[in-house]
Amino acid sequence: MVAIDDEMEFTKAIDQFFSVRGYEVHVALTGTSGIELVDYHNPDVVLVDLKLPGMDGDQVLQHVRRTHPQTKVIVITAYNDGGKTRDRLLSLGAFAHFDKPVSSLRELAETVKRAVTTHP
Amino acid sequence: MSVYSIAPLISALIFIGLGLFVLVSNRRSLTNVMFVLMCGTSFGWQISWTVLFSLPNPTLADMVVRIGYSSIIFIPIYHFHLFASFANRVREERPMILVSYVMGLVFLLLLWTTGSFIDGHHTYYWGYYPKAGLLHPVYLGLVNVLAFRLTYLLIIELRRPGLPPQRYQQVKYALIGFLFYFMVVSDFLVNYGVAFYPLGFIPGIISFGIFGYAIFRHHLLDIEVVIKRTVVFAGLVGSVVAVVSLVAFVSQDVLVHFVQIPKWLSNVFAAAIIAALYGPLRDWLTNVTDRYLFQKKYDYKDLLRKFTDEIIVGIKDLKQLVQTTVATLTETVKLDSCSLLLLNPDTRKYELVAAKGLNGQQLELEEQEPFITFLRETHEPIGRDGELGKVRFPRAVTDRLEQLRARLCLPLHIHQDLIGVLCLGKKKSDEEFTKEDLEDLRTVAKTLAIAVANAQQAVELAKTQAEAAQKEKLAVIGTLSAGINHEICNPLGIVKAQCEAFLLDVEDGILIGKSAQDLLDRTTTIMRGALKQIDRATAITQKLSNFAKPIKEATAQSVSIVQEIEEVLLLVGYDLKLEKIDVMKDIQPDLPPIVADRRQLQEVLFNIIRNAGQAIKPPGTIWVRAHTQGNDQVRVEIADTGGGIPPDKLGKIYDPFFTTKEPGKGTGLGLFIVRQIVERNKGRISLESTVGKGTTFFLDFPATKAVPQTASAGAS
């Protein structure tokens, strides 16, 4: 999987958490470098923060959906706008949506697991 | 009488005239007393010489010489004492004064008992003249020591910093007068056999002329009221004599040819005329002396007018206005005391807001007390002089006058509302307030009322503006929610993720088999990370609440522009980054600090940078530059690559409520407030804008050499 977040500490936590659970994790701090990792590793799952400097989560989502249709994209947002953003992202093809701070890591882990095992 | 006696006679008369004149005035002042003594001894000297030069034979010459010299001995000593007193140095100069008096007495003794000081007389073509004895040079030494010390004292006084202009003039004339008098020492040469007619009387008279001028013009001695009363008295006596003689002449000498008038009748007639003329004549004489003799000092009507026109109307700050009014009135009208009561709209009480000569007492008058009610209802002044003095006021009113040490209280009205009371104490000259005074002061009161009302409105307006500024600030903060949310939620997210990950690792048994050291390392890392993130979130909330708090009292302090720019960028930076706007900095190292209110400066930078961000259609760049400009200016430039401001809107951008932003994005008060804050902090704001290229704001502040405040001191 590829995790993209501009918070280095956050990506570190994600990296460690999923690595010990047997995932191959690659992290990026910007949308652009994230896309490169996606193109290179062709991951099963992409975990991306919506708000990113430069290329943002929306663009990453659209790029991945276009170029890697089998890759599942999970978007994390800090927006609390009553589900509007969530609906929009899901309609754009996001596999799942998480509020920030991530409501439950356990849930995220399960979602990632679901994403990896689900085949379109 | 010899012709050579004329010169000393004239100077003797001038000296005694000026001396007598000062004598009848303030005898309590040491300076005045010493001046009279100086005049007296100068008179003694010159009148003796008048006699000496006309003596037909030498039999009496030695006697007259001794009489004359008895005066001369003390002239320099009185001089010294006079100017030491004038320069307020009597205490410091006491040893010198004492020694010189003792020496004077010794010389006096020598003069009358031996020939060692004055050894008889010379005979010159103009008459007899004292001959210097062996000890005479010692006396000359004393004269010179005193003269130089005295000149030194006066020069020191003249150079004293903060010397009032009037005092400066006094000291200047005293010094010039003395230097002329010192030229009189040339007369001592004649004591040593130089056959030159003693011309010392010339500088002597000039010096007294200067003293006289300084007394009249510059209040050198405390006698002006006496001069005035003397003139008025002389005028009145003269007129009484004139009227009586005129009436007597007309009735007894002219009319006698036609009708016999008894003498008593003409006297009654004269008395009637005098009675009728007395009042108006006295007023007229007082006015004339005021106008001609004391033009500079008593012409306060002009000053009052100027005061009304310039000061009262010109001062916008209420506190300054009331202080200046009281100070200027005290100074101009020469009052013992002066005070101003203003209605406090909140408490509905009349409070003493400014006072001179009231020993700092506090006072609040109720709206309903008789003193206030009278002024409010009648619009008339309360006073004790002239016509006003005849009104019988109840005790409650006169007690207030007493308490305010006032002889005249004028109401300050705006329409029917009594907004304050102006109280004037006794004039220093003891004169009453005349009808004319009252007219002038009424004008002052009217203007003052308007000025006070305006200043009070300005205070209200400032309050409203401060509230508007606060609203604007909160509105702008609202637009920052994304960035702030990010800065707070991210740290929380990280802490949460780290903790949860650890717990899940425990639950899932991932940590089984790890060594104690491994576990310790892991938890330590989590704790450290958590602390770091908590600090980060705390910092931003502190900055934000600091910024959002209303600024109650601006405090000028030395601030570093660089640091303030960093603080502001911390608040807006992430938002700009999200909007794909780069912020580039170009800040000159060692930029000198400026003096400003830190938070106001932050508000200014915040507003302008925020505006720049909103002007840009992403992507774009904001340049923040700071450098010195000339020797003493610091310039901050904030440039954006936005759309620029069209020329027709340039003139309006500082107008309140002018905005080109969409509703909800700004109140239109941002730049209006920015400009006010910049100017309040002694800065200037300007801008350049090109449509399609962007806008650059320039902020110029005076640089200081002080050390800037540190970051920790500012955050609190």
Condensed to tens digits (0 to 9), the pLDDT of residues A5-31 reads: 888 888 888 898 998 888 999 998 888
Best of B480, B484, B486 to disrupt the A interface (most A CBs within 10 Å) is B486
Start-end of H helices in B364-479: 370-378, 395-403, 435-478
Model confidence over B22-75: pLDDT tens digits?
A: 777 666 677 788 888 989 999 999 999 999 998 888 888 889 999 999 999 999
Tell me the nearest-neighbour CA distance from A79 into chain B, angstroms: 8
pLDDT at B137: 93
The strand ranges marked E within chain A are 2-4, 26-28, 45-49, 72-77, 96-99
Task: Indicate the average pLDDT of chain B.
Answer: 82
Q: Reading across the β-sheet that carries B633-640, which strands appear in turn?
A: B581-587, B620-629, B633-640, B694-702, B684-690
Q: CB A53 to CB B505 under 8 A?
A: no
Asked if the C-beta of B492 comes within 8 angstroms of chain A's C-beta atoms, the answer is: yes
Q: Is the pLDDT of residue B471 over 90?
A: no
pLDDT at B662: 58
DSSP calls for B187-228: HHHHHTT--S---THHHHHHHHHHHHHHHHHH--SS-HHHHH
Q: CB A7 to CB B494 under 8 A?
A: yes
- At B635, which amino acid appears? R
Specify the DSSP class assigned to residue B631: T
Tell me the nearest-neighbour CA distance from B497 into chain A, angstroms: 7
Q: CB A105 to CB B508 under 8 A?
A: no
- Identify whether B381 is preceded by a cis peptide bond (ω within 30 of 0): no
Percentage of chain B exceeding pLDDT 90? 19
Query: What is the total residue count of chain B?
Result: 716
Asked if the C-beta of B500 comes within 8 angstroms of chain A's C-beta atoms, the answer is: yes
The kind and range of the H/E element at B124 are strand B118-124
Burial class of residue B363, CB neighbours in 10 A (0-12, 13-18, 19+) = middle
Q: Is the pLDDT of residue B551 over 70?
A: no
Model confidence over B154-166: pLDDT tens digits?
A: 998 888 877 767 7
The kind and range of the H/E element at B701 are strand B694-702
Best of B494, B528, B576, B580 to disrupt the A interface (most A CBs within 10 Å) is B494
Count chain A–chain B contacts defined by CB atoms under 8 A: 59
The lowest-confidence range among B361-370, B470-479, B607-616 is B470-479
pLDDT at B666: 56
Between residues B399 and B230, the one the model is more confident about:
B399
Instruction: Give CA–CA dist B668/B657, Å, rounded.
Output: 4
- Which domains, ranges and CATH numbers included, belong to chain A? 2-103 (3.40.50.2300)
In terms of CA atoms, which chain B residue is nearest residue A9? B494
Q: CB B493 to CB A104 under 8 A?
A: no
Q: CB A105 to CB B501 under 8 A?
A: yes
Asked if the C-beta of B533 comes within 8 angstroms of chain A's C-beta atoms, the answer is: yes
Chain A residues with CB inside 8 Å of B532's CB? 9
Model confidence over B435-468: pLDDT tens digits?
A: 778 888 888 888 889 888 888 888 888 777 777 7
B 559-598 residues with CB < 8 A to A: 577-578, 580
Instruction: Show the tokens assigned to B376.
Output: 């409010």
pLDDT at B148: 93
Instruction: Give CA–CA dist B544/B590, Å, rounded.
Output: 28
Bridge-based pairing state of the strands B620-629 and B364-366:
unpaired
State the pLDDT confidence band at B660, using cuts at 50, 70 and 90: low
**pLDDT average, residue stretch A54-60:** 84
